[in-house]
Structure 1
Amino acid sequence: MMDPRTSAQDVMRCDLCETAVVQMHCDTCLVKLCTACVGKHMISDESKDHKVVKFQARKFTPLYPVCTSHEKERCEMYCKQCDIPVCLSCLASKQHLGHELSKILQVVGEKNDMITKERNELNDTIFPTYQDIASDVKNRMSQLEKEYGYLSTAITKHGEDWHREIDKLVKKLKAEVVEMKNTQLQTLQKHLDEINKTMSIIKYEINSMETAIDTNDLSKLSSVMSNVHTYRNLPHKIIPSLPKFIPGKIQEEEISTLFGALSSSSLTSDKHGYSMKTTQKSPEAGFSPAVKQLLDKPETVTNIDTGYILSIYNVACLNDEEIWTSGNDNTMKLLSINQGSLLKSITTRSKNRPSNIAVTKSGDLVFTDHNDRTVNIVKNEKIEKVIRLQNWRPKGVCSTSSGDLLVIMDSDDDKQTKVVCYSGSSEKQTIQFDNKGKPLYSPSSYDLRYITENKNLDICASDEGAKAVVVVNQAGKLRFSYTGHTPVPKNQPFCPLGITTDSQSHILTADYKNDFIHIIDKDGKFLCYIDCGLSEPRGLCIDTNDNLFVAQVWKKEVRKIKYLT
């Protein structure tokens, strides 16, 4: 930046004649002069010792303000108690006797330092952060356009199979996509406009601060009203949630039902979505996972000793390096997969053993307490009761792709079983009966129940009492029940317990009595068994690389298995 005192683009004029270019400066009176006006200025007030120097050699001194009480006198002191500049006559009048005084130069320096610090924070940290936020919103808008394009393509492709009789339905659904997209883009555009507006205001304040600093004028420095504290509170992060197209099969039923429907879209506002000086952003997950094939012979990668004294029941992946486990006591353990070491342990407040555990989309541990009738989340190693049931007891739990919780539960009288979807502590949906009013799940408080959500948004539950895996779609309509496959190596009745799904929408369930894992596709077709010397398999989970983790009850260990290419 060029110095405004010497820049040819900022020519200063003589304070006396106001026409000639400044060449001299009176350090006593702080007056800019041309050479022709020096003599005139020297005799204007002979009581002062005028120190006239070349303008470039002038002293860098503050512009002492004129006293409001004593005309023609400049204030060289500042009364902190009265919060005003004062001159020597003010001090002589004893109006400020006993007050804390500071030199104007010191006050100017302090205000300069404060404004400079805030200017630097705005310039170096806050404004660049807002630039990153604006870029993030633009990227999300671009990604949104692309993903809605994928969605329209999927609808079009599915519509081609139905030919002319469903053209109207195709157009209707595509119109809904456009409406949802426009609604979300409008919201994001409004959010971006607000961010850009704030950025403009910040830039204006930075310029105002720099102008005030350059003048060294106390009145101008004092008039600077900084809003840095306001800008430190970053805007909420707007995260669009896309609808998904759910195709149906062509049968002798209503076309609009079978063709499929769009799930609802949403925009969430995350107060903690942005942080200062964000340098790396997580890549967006793809919508089309790579096709993987089942291995002819699954491979055991490692066995993890959990350290439980009696038995282990449940396992949940936190990430590709750590797993949560729970067993026949009141402690949940976080274990290192590679080292097998204990990283953390959480004890239930009720001292009851957890019925089931899961990991939420945000990485928090969630567990059900059957005896305490609660669903709990562990945040920063502190247990929060999210849901407390009346007349029902929770069993299996899982976190959905949208961040909701699915809980499968039994009534106190052992006569009913249902699945409830919760957003926070609020019920969103209850799934209990089929379209003929018959129960979807067998009632019994003694049976074990596990639940998970498939990639196609189907809700899959293991029903030990019915000896079946019950799968319903997102709307709660029964898709199929899987009751096992023959021949069975150990010829024991199908006993489904732990259940999980992978990137291929395969459904995997632990067959406790036969000591292996069933793999079926998303439509209930049997694919194969995982039979690799397992013993009493119960809890299951899958990591992001499609590795399977199996909790073996009495061995008190978790086995990591590779079963996909």
Structure 2
Amino acid sequence: MSEPSDEQAAMQHYLVCGTEDCQKNGQFYCNACHQPLCEQCRDKHQKSPNTKNHEIVLYRHRKHQLPVELCQDHPTRNKELFCRECSIPLCSKCSIMKEHIGHVFDDLEEIYADIYAVWQGEFSKIQKYFLPTTNDLKSDIEEDVTEIKKIMKSFRASIKAEAESLKNLVDEVTSESIENTHTMEKTLLKMLKSQETTYDDYITYLWKMSDEFQEYLSLTNKKLLFTKTLKIQPIPETIKPVPPEFIAGRFSKNDITKLLGNVNVPNRKPEKRKIQPIEAESAHMKSTEKQLEQSKEKSDMKQTLSLSSSVTKVREYSVPGVNSVYHVSVEKSGRFWVSDDRGSLVQTDLQGKLLQKIQTSGGKGYHTATQDGDLIYTDRDKKVIYRITQDRKITEFIKTGGWKPISIHSSRINGDILVGMYKGGEAKVTRYNKAGKEIQNIQRDNQGQGLYSNPHYITEKINGDICTSDINTKKVMVVNKSGHHRLYYTGQGSEFCPFGICTDVLGHILVCDMASNTVHLLEEQEGEFLAVIISPRQGINHPRGVCVDDENNLYVGQYFTNTVTVYKYLQ
């Protein structure tokens, strides 16, 4: 076979057409032949008498080929028919056996394709409706927990305040009562003191009278007894004070309870949590599904977006303030953030003008633009996630405890924040909601084995799958939204060193391979390799960071230079 031309070599950066000697982009698929086709070969396929009735669709809408299963009774034949009456798969030779005479048969591949589509639809419902809806309900419960705790805390404060108020009133009444006893005591003692004085005066009077009587009774003066009349005054009368009585208060715990407020559960029927109907999926998911359905219905096989036959360079920026481009985050405004391997994090405008620069100790994919237009980034050493608002105010957002955060991604689906982190030889992915509350930890598979070692870049697909590139395990790891392992990708050669990773609106995964200095494009369903989308042929060496903006432009940053190059690869 002759060496391919430069044009043919460029085409080999994509899924290659299955037609012999054709090296063009196989973006279509023949469900009958089970092979990819380029646009020209598709046209020939549809015009050929032998294949004009074949069903040709976009590659991503292809029917999956029936798995090969040999017939037990005829080992040289495959099962390819389905007997309706017996409800079993058969080979063609079984169909002419006497036990199946008169039976109706269906193409097993068609049944398989239909069942596969149904199961894929159910899987899609799980990913796009059931899991998000259930997680929303769970989040609703968590919000209720927070609200209940807040309400009960306020109740406890009110109860303590009421009790304190009652205590103050009791203290006030007690003080007044005690003061009253002092007043009463003072009055009574004053009266008794007056009586003591009266009797003291009377006693003095008696002693005086006693002296006079004694004098008259003396022998020398006896004659005075006949001339002097002495009369003793009566004892003064006094009154005995009536002691005050203490009347004990008559109260019980129930009386105190009545005085104070109390907490009761209202006598009303609780409302059922509102479960969003399956028809009312999120606007993003509905939009994506609508786009897919419209694409399938178009008879000319054209879709809103598909892989272009070539990669086109759109523009290029030289970013001041960095010595290399390890990661790129694009804002909705078109401005973007770039970081290098020395912790410099800079923001530039559409003309490449430096807007702001901060010094950090982040990881590789350690910053991300949010739906609200802010930027959040990790500080690995401080174990903190910071937020930069549009007015350039930097605030501490999340503390990660003993874990070092090294990668971060803000979900385009619901605004959740995904963080890759490690500690003491272990690694995990933690999900936070938009408010910064931890809601999920993903660390191990069903067998208890660790999923991650060093997830230094992280992103999320449109179906909620979480994708990480792990420099230690040399894998792209994909788990679903629930954290269950789905698949992993280990490259195309003997060596694979994954760096920057992102996904696009079609669900493709794009990942930088430092070993081959290329960017790989992976299929949206099973993560199968589709193409080398960026290579030195496009003027890129050592790609490290990738990002796709809302206009489906691919931003590529590279090592050893401060250049960010923007490409168009979808049409």
Larger relative contact order (CA 8 Å, sep ≥ 6): 2
Question: Which has more radius of gyration?
Answer: 2
Higher strand share: 1
> TM-score under structure 1 normalisation?
0.48
